[in-house]
Amino acid sequence: MSEPTEQAGVCDVSELKDEAGKLDAADELAALRERFVLDDVTYLDGNSLGALPAGVPARVADVVRRQWGELRIRSWEESGWWTAPERIGDRIAPLVGAAAGQIVVGDSTSVNVFKALVAAVRMAGEDGTGRDEILVDATTFPADGYIAESAARMTGCALRPVTPAEVPSALGDRTAAVLLNHVDYRTGRLHDLPALTAAVHEAGAYVVWDLCHSAGALPVGLDEYGVDLAVGCTYKYLNGGPGSPAYLYVRHGLQDRFDSPLPGWNSHAEPFGMRPGYIPAAGASRGRVGTPDILSLLALEAALQVWDGVSVEAVRAKSLALTDFFLRCVGEYVLDGRVESLTPAAHAERGSQVALRCDDAGDVMKRLIERGVVGDFRAPDVLRFGFTPLYVGFADVERAARVLAETLV
- Each residue's pLDDT, cut to its tens digit, for the chain (409 residues) gives 333 344 444 557 899 999 999 999 999 999 999 999 999 999 999 999 999 999 999 999 999 999 999 999 999 999 999 999 999 999 999 999 999 999 999 999 999 999 999 999 999 999 998 999 999 999 989 999 999 999 999 999 999 999 999 999 999 999 999 999 999 999 999 999 999 999 999 999 999 999 999 999 999 999 999 999 999 999 999 999 999 999 999 999 999 999 999 999 999 999 999 999 999 999 999 999 999 999 999 999 999 999 999 999 999 999 999 999 999 999 999 999 999 999 999 999 999 999 999 999 999 999 999 999 999 999 999 999 999 999 999 999 999 999 999 999 8
**Class of residue 263 by CB neighbours under 10 A (exposed 0-12, middle 13-18, buried 19+):** middle
Give the per-residue pLDDT at 11.
Answer: 58
- The packing angle between helices 361-370 and 394-408, to 10°, is 120
The continuous run of DSSP H or E covering 324 comes out as: helix 312-333
Sign of CA dihedral 24, 29, 31, 32: negative
Would you say 16 and 398 are in contact if contact means Cβ atoms under 8 Å apart? yes
Residue 221 one-letter amino acid: G
Q: Under CATH, to which class is 58-307 assigned? A: alpha beta
323 — phi, psi (to 5°)? -70, -35
CATH architecture of residue range(s) 13-29+311-408:
Alpha-Beta Complex (3.90)
What 8-state DSSP symbol labels residue 261? Answer: S
Give the per-residue pLDDT at 127.
Answer: 96
Domain with CATH 3.40.640.10 in the chain: 58-307
Give the per-residue pLDDT at 8.
Answer: 45
Would you say 330 and 401 are in contact if contact means Cβ atoms under 8 Å apart? yes
Catalytic residue IDs: 141, 210, 235-236, 384
Q: Which pTM was predicted?
A: 0.96
Do strands 382-386 and 376-378 pair parallel, antiparallel, or not at all (unpaired)? antiparallel
